[in-house]
């Protein structure tokens, strides 16, 4: 029987392509990190500052195209 350490060592969590694409876009355009998560039928993007959140509102179309998704994008400050 495998012990827990061996099982977790073999496990490699991969991000869904939408999340990876949004993180890459944020790094390329704004040189910043963000948290991205699914919440129901939405993708929630959490950023550190209100100014960045406001700027992202103008980039929602580009973010949706980069992620190749039709899901609703929600921007949060946190």
Whether 47 and 73 have beta carbons less than 8 Å apart is answered as no
What's 28's domain CATH number?
3.30.70
Q: Which domain holds residue 57?
A: 14-77
Is residue 71 in a domain? yes
Average pLDDT, the chain: 91
Q: In the chain, how many domains are there?
A: 1
Which has more confidence, 15 or 59? 59
Is residue 7 in a domain? no
Is residue 8 in a domain? no
Question: What's the confidence (pLDDT) of residue 2?
Answer: 66
Is residue 56 in a domain? yes
Residue 70 in this model has a pLDDT that exceeds 70: yes
Which has more confidence, 1 or 39? 39
Question: What's the confidence (pLDDT) of residue 13?
Answer: 73
For 20, other C-beta atoms within 10 Å of its C-beta total: 13
Q: What is the pLDDT of residues 5-40, one digit of tens each?
A: 777 777 667 889 999 999 999 999 999 999 999 999
| Sign of the CA dihedral with 17 first, then 14, 19, and 34 last | negative
Please give the distance of CA 44 from its chain centroid, rounded to a whole number: 7
**Secondary structure string (H, E, C) spanning 31-42:** CCCCEEEEECCE
């Amino acid at each position: 029987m495998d012990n827990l350490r061996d099982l977790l060592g073999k496990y490699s969590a991969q991000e869904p392509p939408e999340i990876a694409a949004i993180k890459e876009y944020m790094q390329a355009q704004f040189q910043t990190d963000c948290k991205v998560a699914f919440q129901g039928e939405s993708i929630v993007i959490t950023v550190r500052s209100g100014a960045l959140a406001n700027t992202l509102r103008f980039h929602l179309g580009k973010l949706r195209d980069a992620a190749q998704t039709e899901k609703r994008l929600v921007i949060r400050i946190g």
